[in-house]
Amino acid sequence: AQTVTQSQPEMSVQEAETVTLSCTYDTSESDYYLFWYKQPPSRQMILVIRQEAYKQQNATENRFSVNFQKAAKSFSLKISDSQLGDAAMYFCAYRSPPNSGYALNFGKGTSLLVTP
Amino acid sequence: NAGVTQTPKFQVLKTGQSMTLQCAQDMNHNSMYWYRQDPGMGLRLIYYSASEGTTDKGEVPNGYNVSRLNKREFSLRLESAAPSQTSVYFCASSPAGGQNIYEQYFGPGTRLTVT
């Protein structure tokens, strides 16, 4: 089974600064997909960004970007110009192969605190 | 367009009671999923349904049953609730898999407490 590891239970960043959340994963697949989800206190799961493993270019979505290192099996999330509304739990997720229904394997999450 | 809806939002059960969590999606998605979220554990897959008429076990299926009633609805049943099933339950849906990077859309979650 694929495993996803987020080694930072908590992170803190000042408003307007940049923060990077780490994620590593283990897989024997060559083609796969990776996601970052945000979970604010409302509990709603919100997709932040996605990455296809066959694409060498790192995905970006406005202030959010990833550093995808396929050989190292690393998929970190960078948040630039942090805002108070970015405070949330962030989950890294790996999409499993067809024989597991394309379900998501989640890391344990990183709690991000944003200070004024 | 409501997306993925779940009922109820909160529930308290006594040990041994049974209940069904309801989930429905209005996006015409093929695949549906049930996850549970425990503190410090992230989300873990309980059951999934790749298409109407099929269901399969995930990582933590013990103590649960599911029904894919039709393409829209996917319910999760606890036959005899145990305190270890105290958790937040999320339903999710997705158009399909394959070469398209379809995201999963999540419902708002159900907080279940078993005393």
Interface touch B42/A103, C-beta < 8 Å: no
Asked if residue B71 has pLDDT above 60, the reply is: yes
Instruction: Give residue B98's pLDDT band: very low, low, confident or very high (50, 70, 90).
Output: low
In angstroms, rounded to a whole number, what is the distance separating the alpha carbons of residues B46 and B5?
18
> Which chain A positions have a beta carbon within 8 Å of B9's beta carbon?
none
Asked if residue B97 has pLDDT above 60, the reply is: no
Quickly count: other Cβ atoms within 10 Å of residue A3's Cβ: 11
Mean pLDDT computed over every residue of chain B: 92
Query: Nearest chain B Cα to A7, which residue?
Result: B40
> Which chain B positions have a beta carbon within 8 Å of A33's beta carbon?
101
Q: Tell me the mean pLDDT in the region B58-85.
A: 96
Q: Quick one: pLDDT at residue B101?
A: 62
Determine contact: A53 vs chain B, CB below 8 A. Answer: no
Interface touch B92/A45, C-beta < 8 Å: yes
Residues of chain A with pLDDT under 70: 1
The distance of Cα B15 from the centroid of its chain, to the nearest Å, equals 20
Q: Quick one: pLDDT at residue A30?
A: 85
Cis peptide before B8 (omega within 30 of 0): yes
- Closest CA–CA distance from residue B37 to any residue of chain A (Å): 10
Going by C-alpha positions, the residue among B102, B104, B92, B114 that lies closest to residue B6 is B92
In angstroms, rounded to a whole number, what is the distance separating the alpha carbons of residues A38 and A44?
8
Do residues B1 and B105 touch, judged by C-beta distance below 8 A? Answer: no
C-alpha to C-alpha distances, A45 to A7, A35, B53, nearest whole angstrom: 20, 12, 26
Determine contact: B33 vs chain A, CB below 8 A. Answer: yes
Nearest to B108 among A9, A44, A109 (CB): A44
